[in-house]
Amino acid sequence: MKKYPHYLDLQPARRVQGAVRLPGSKSISNRTLLLAALAQGDTDIRELLASDDTHVMLMALQKLGVRWEQKGASQDYLVHGAGGTLPVHSADLFMGNAGTAIRPLTAALAVMGGDYTLHGVARMHERPIGDLVDALNGIGCRIDYTGEPGFPPLHIQRGHIADRRLKVRGNVSSQYLTALLMAAPLMAKEQAVTIEVIGELISKPYIEITLNLMQRFGVEVVRDGWSAFTVPAGSRYASPGAIHVEGDASSASYFLAAGAIAGGPVRVEGVGRDSIQGDVRFVDALRQMGADISLGDNWIEARSTGALKAIDADFNHIPDAAMTVAVAALYADGTSTLRNIGSWRVKETDRIAAMATELRKLGAAVEEGADYLRVTPPERLQPAAIDTYDDHRMAMCFSLASLDGAIRAGTTVRINDPKCVAKTFPDYFDAFAGIIGRS
Ligand SMILES: O=C(O)C1=C[C@@H](OP(=O)(O)O)[C@@H](O)[C@H](O)C1
Ligand SMILES: C=C(OP(=O)(O)O)C(=O)O
């Protein structure tokens, strides 16, 4: 277990440069683990992310009777697929604060039936799951809330699935649809399963990741745009043999933004133009802000071309990387507006409120709306102690406030409780230190 201090003081950095090998994608890692567990055959997973979120998924699968082995000290795992089921029918599962674990597991376990409890850290019990539970109970699954209605903890029992047409709302999180899609083959033995999306769907690129990985595990989903998804009768997961986890595109955003703010070039390795992760489109925002971006098959590089330009854009498609834009906006030549980011309110913390509070500590003027944030940078950043709210992305994106942008000098930034980065990137601050120039 890595040791962290209670706080980290980041000294002003004049220039950043270098290359960073990214840890594996959280979204791909946790989906791949579950699909490998449900598949027929063994799957060799290469370069799985090592983090709190993947740890809870690995531990849950182990408790559910799925056998897996880590290859030595590497991040390569062999998962022995249980062939369309999870062998243990009664378990108490700790889900930490991993949305990518609790949502898909809830759907899979509810469809299989058994006696399961799923719970997590205090914040997990404040993150909504009602739309997913309603969709599953609506076809005859049996999920009860043991605390507040609409939120974990959950108690899952054996229901009676009477219908194979599900309806789900997608305006709070796309993970509910992802969860239903991944669980659908488990109830499609004789009849096709159709999932209908009611109303607006947010964070759409994450659904593309789900469909892509399901296809690699042998299940082809038939879609009607974004409104209905059908898993044909007889679909079942089969191991692709080996699967390599791309580097995490959301984690890439911090380094690319650093390159765009403070010289560069900074190159991230492990993700590139062929990525299946929507967060690679963060580079569009950086380009719009004036950064110089180049992409290869498996790398992306950013360098600054002078002061960053303010941006006004819709960030619904990249909610995680958009936090990085909010902090990069401190170095822009005017007021930036991030629109359509209402989902920030129900993630690791209320990210709109947290972001506004912490940006103000640095001297920015911030206007906060129900689903938007408007950031006007100060003449010069003020030294500040940044609270991180047990939110890995708060810790990671505020490290950027220590940089020396072309028009605003960097400042000393204290990051309180830096250990929260372990959710997706335990070595983040070492990697960040690695691109800080010594001059
Ligand atoms: O499916 C996924 O892997 C994710 C979907 C997104 O959540 P929402 O769909 O709740 O916005 C994202 O914020 C999260 O970090 C990962
Ligand atoms: C929202 C996030 O996580 P989760 O997968 O728990 O929803 C995130 O990583 O920014």
- Please state the ipTM of this predicted complex: 0.99
Give the Å distance between the CA of 347 and the centre of ligand 2.
Answer: 6
Counting Cβ atoms within 10 Å, is residue 120 exposed (0-12), middle (13-18) or buried (19+)? buried
Among the atoms of ligand 1, which is closest to the Cα of residue 207? 1
Q: 233 lies in a domain?
A: no
- Ligand 1 contacts CB of residue 97 (under 6 A): no
Average pLDDT along the chain: 97
State whether 101 and 75 are in the same domain. Answer: yes
Phi, psi for 46 (deg, rounded to 5): -100, 135
* CATH at 253: 3.65.10.10
- pLDDT of 331 > 60? The answer is yes
State whether 175 and 291 are in the same domain. Answer: no
Q: In which residue are the tokens 């959280």 written?
A: 26
State whether 217 and 355 are in the same domain. Answer: no
State whether 299 and 368 are in the same domain. Answer: yes
Range of the domain at 360: 7-23+248-435
Q: 49 lies in a domain?
A: yes
State whether 50 and 116 are in the same domain. Answer: yes
- pLDDT of 175 > 70? The answer is yes
pLDDT grade, residue 437 (50/70/90)? confident
Q: 240 lies in a domain?
A: no
Give CA–CA dist 120/127, Å, rounded.
Answer: 10
Q: 239 lies in a domain?
A: no
State whether 385 and 292 are in the same domain. Answer: yes
- pLDDT of 438 > 60? The answer is no
Active site residue 320: yes
Q: 236 lies in a domain?
A: no
Torsion of the alpha carbons at 191, 197, 198 and 202, rounded to the nearest 10:
160
Q: 117 lies in a domain?
A: yes
State whether 275 and 424 are in the same domain. Answer: yes
State whether 97 and 16 are in the same domain. Answer: no
- How many domains is the chain built from? 2
pLDDT in tens, 44-90: 999 999 999 999 999 999 999 999 999 999 999 999 999 999 999 99
State whether 394 and 265 are in the same domain. Answer: yes
307 DSSP 8-state letter: S
- Ligand 2 contacts CB of residue 351 (under 6 A): no
